[in-house]
Structure 1
């Protein structure tokens, strides 16, 4: 088959969609398909290039070069920013500018990509006669481009791959929902109705779309989060250093994925574990949580390391080097962070901090042998929770290499790619 993938974010961007679809594009290629990718350009007039056989076509966003925010060139720091007057002033100005921008754009921050990407997609469809066009979200702009490009797609069928819901998403909201809620629902409904196939990453999301948009069973399928990590080194010895290292990897948002409860748990641990030094390392964008990190007590701040956006190699090394991996659940019953799968795939103990009982991470980690899940019911852990937390950190259960290999096979790029191919060819799920 000849396949066109429309995705705003693609390698080397450090986003879940970029990781997922760069791996899937390579898998499609290895299965003998011709693969083209249309994505946002980081440089103006960047030509099409071949990425190990995948033809990558980059088109610049007219308004916002968002790709620059999610590349390995982002700065790293060894401790959280200090709460100074200059820092607060800059943060306030950024908030004002962001608020003004967010009240006006539609469908999301990538709206400036719609016109140039649509023109490029139509041209590619005319020249290459694709069998399938796959549009990817987040951001939802990718589906708008896919929908507009259908007029020039000829015989090509259209698969809509949904990483995050759009109209049904409240935090972080894709746009100003007070102004655009009806438009959001109308456009998403049109896209789902016109698509030939729909893919989602969690069962709860599939049920949500069946209920709210009446998407038929035969049209919507499940393609779980994808593992895009190197092979696990054999016989890696456990750490013998005196420091216990807790590592969180992911993007923080004040309303969706706040670090507050994690910081409170870490502060409580510092007060109860005096014979071992503790460190908490954060990898990824902190967004609007900068002030919350800066306002930490001194004893927490001295053991807190904020690394920012780093390369995938550094992320993998950090996971392998961690004593405890920390997951902060979304305030959402439909989203599952791909890092939960990656955490399991390195075989480290996982501290799972959630805000709602229906958090999708609970189901994903149900059979993982080294998990402690705490539900945030207050600003910090109770005495009973702290006792469990202390015991888990000091003596976590072990995960066998055999168990890790089973997880890696279940979420491998090869397996997930075959799920998409089966859907496009009308075959039963493998």
Structure 2
């Protein structure tokens, strides 16, 4: 079988879509399928290369996209305690900040459907060439960004495409909490185009049942073609438990992107400040991932709190997994939307570590998910960040090094590469 995956993010990218689709593409290639990936360019990497049997085609966009990639390629890897404030940043960092501000005030307010808009036409041209010929091909377009589906919509017309699967990582038109474009300009267009994409697709996949229900309610008629294909995790054979002593800091580790609107750090930091009052320098908070949107929140922390907060920025997958293995307690910050489930939660469960789960509301998807996990401390809503709750959290953290958090391995197999790949194959 020949498979063409259209995804803006792919290895060596550092986001959940890149991790998921790199694993799936390699899985199918190892089973003898002819797998091609059409993706965005990566500075320093060739336009075409073989990665673990997968042919990766990197299609170059235009200058604005290249500038955006470079603006986002560097983040602070230092502790907040380094004392590097806005006035002491390097000239290079200052220039990057000015350029990003100009980008956000101009192009970001005008582009459609999202930041990858200028990649669409080159990707359609390149993809059309890949689909010339008689070999039947399963086409899979992956969001985010939604631009990948626009590419897929035009490639679907090629006679060699046997099936088109639209894979939705995050919603598009009704995602008003973290819009991908200027909804005041494009709100009506967003719904119209997403409706057209969904009607044209042969199959649609989402990662949670809540998202599936939301799509069925928003776009009546898609219920027969939309399916839940869960998050993916490569389950570690033997989760690592670092040695602990009375002098070893309690390491809280968060991995993932922070967003100002749907996944901000304020509630976690409010709790952490209370934990510091109890534990002093015995506790550390390490955050791995893109934090650009909320950098000012960390810079405004009191000095005593900042002393134990470390922002590592975006790191490669192995470093992130290593940080999770070395953690005393893993931290989740819930989305302010109820229907999404961060893919990292499956990895958290597989690590068999205690989890501090900080969420906005009781019906957060992570609260339901972690019912299958034995060692979870939920902090729900702003009112839950109280002195009494902090005292309970301190006990949870002190008991964490000795906690027995084994997870049902059969339950975890639902999220394995093999099972997730099989879920997609049913759509082919």
TM-score by length of 1: 0.91
Would the alpha carbon gap of residues 399 and 164 (structure 1) be closer, same or farther in structure 2, given more than 3 Å must change? farther
Match of 1:410 among 403, 409, 414: 414
Tell me how far apart the structure 2 counterparts of residues 394 and 310 of structure 1 sit (CA, whole Å).
28
What corresponds to 1:383 in structure 2?
A: 387
What corresponds to 2:23 in structure 1?
A: 23
Tell me how far apart the structure 2 counterparts of residues 418 and 301 of structure 1 sit (CA, whole Å).
46
Structure 1 alignment gaps of length 5 or more:
425-430
What corresponds to 2:423 in structure 1?
A: 419
Indicate if the aligned counterparts of 1:129 and 1:154 stay in contact, CA closer than 8 A. yes
Match of 2:295 among 283, 290, 295: 290
Q: Does 1:206 align with 2:207?
A: no
Which SS does the other structure have where 2:427 is aligned?
Answer: helix
Would the alpha carbon gap of residues 366 and 116 (structure 1) be closer, same or farther in structure 2, given more than 3 Å must change? same
Structure 2 alignment gaps of length 5 or more:
none
After superposition, what is the alpha-carbon deviation per residue over 1:350-371, rounded to whole angstroms, capped at 9, x for unaligned? 0010113321111111121011
What corresponds to 2:325 in structure 1?
A: 320
What corresponds to 2:57 in structure 1?
A: 57
Tell me how far apart the structure 1 counterparts of residues 372 and 238 of structure 2 sit (CA, whole Å).
23
Q: Does 1:260 align with 2:266?
A: yes
After superposition, what is the alpha-carbon deviation per residue over 1:382-406, rounded to whole angstroms, capped at 9, x for unaligned? 12311221111111373454x2633
Tell me how far apart the structure 1 counterparts of residues 258 and 327 of structure 2 sit (CA, whole Å).
19
Would the alpha carbon gap of residues 86 and 128 (structure 1) be closer, same or farther in structure 2, given more than 3 Å must change? farther
Which SS does the other structure have where 2:173 is aligned?
Answer: coil
Would the alpha carbon gap of residues 94 and 53 (structure 1) be closer, same or farther in structure 2, given more than 3 Å must change? closer
Displacement, 1:235? 6.8
Which SS does the other structure have where 2:57 is aligned?
Answer: strand
What corresponds to 1:219 in structure 2?
A: 225
Match of 1:306 among 306, 311, 335: 311
Displacement, 1:374? 0.9
Q: Does 1:172 align with 2:178?
A: yes
Would the alpha carbon gap of residues 128 and 315 (structure 1) be closer, same or farther in structure 2, given more than 3 Å must change? farther
Aligned Cα RMSD in Å? 2.3
What corresponds to 1:250 in structure 2?
A: 256
Bigger shift: residues 89-98 or 199-208:
89-98
What corresponds to 1:372 in structure 2?
A: 377
Tell me how far apart the structure 2 counterparts of residues 235 and 85 of structure 1 sit (CA, whole Å).
41
Which SS does the other structure have where 1:366 is aligned?
Answer: helix
Displacement, 1:349? 0.5
What corresponds to 1:428 in structure 2?
A: none
Tell me how far apart the structure 1 counterparts of residues 414 and 71 of structure 2 sit (CA, whole Å).
31
Q: Does 1:335 align with 2:352?
A: no
After superposition, what is the alpha-carbon deviation per residue over 1:211-269, rounded to whole angstroms, capped at 9, x for unaligned? 1011433311111111146x333674543352111111111111111111111111100
Tell me how far apart the structure 2 counterparts of residues 385 and 245 of structure 1 sit (CA, whole Å).
19
| 1:155-166 matches, cutoff 5 A | 155-166=161-172
What corresponds to 1:427 in structure 2?
A: none
Indicate if the aligned counterparts of 1:264 and 1:381 stay in contact, CA closer than 8 A. yes
What corresponds to 2:78 in structure 1?
A: 77
Would the alpha carbon gap of residues 215 and 137 (structure 1) be closer, same or farther in structure 2, given more than 3 Å must change? farther
Tell me how far apart the structure 2 counterparts of residues 260 and 89 of structure 1 sit (CA, whole Å).
25
Tell me how far apart the structure 2 counterparts of residues 415 and 258 of structure 1 sit (CA, whole Å).
32
Displacement, 1:381? 1.3
Tell me how far apart the structure 1 counterparts of residues 213 and 257 of structure 2 sit (CA, whole Å).
26
Tell me how far apart the structure 1 counterparts of residues 351 and 274 of structure 2 sit (CA, whole Å).
27
Would the alpha carbon gap of residues 257 and 237 (structure 1) be closer, same or farther in structure 2, given more than 3 Å must change? closer
Displacement, 1:339? 1.0
Tell me how far apart the structure 2 counterparts of residues 394 and 299 of structure 1 sit (CA, whole Å).
21
TM-score by length of 2: 0.91
Tell me how far apart the structure 1 counterparts of residues 36 and 86 of structure 2 sit (CA, whole Å).
48
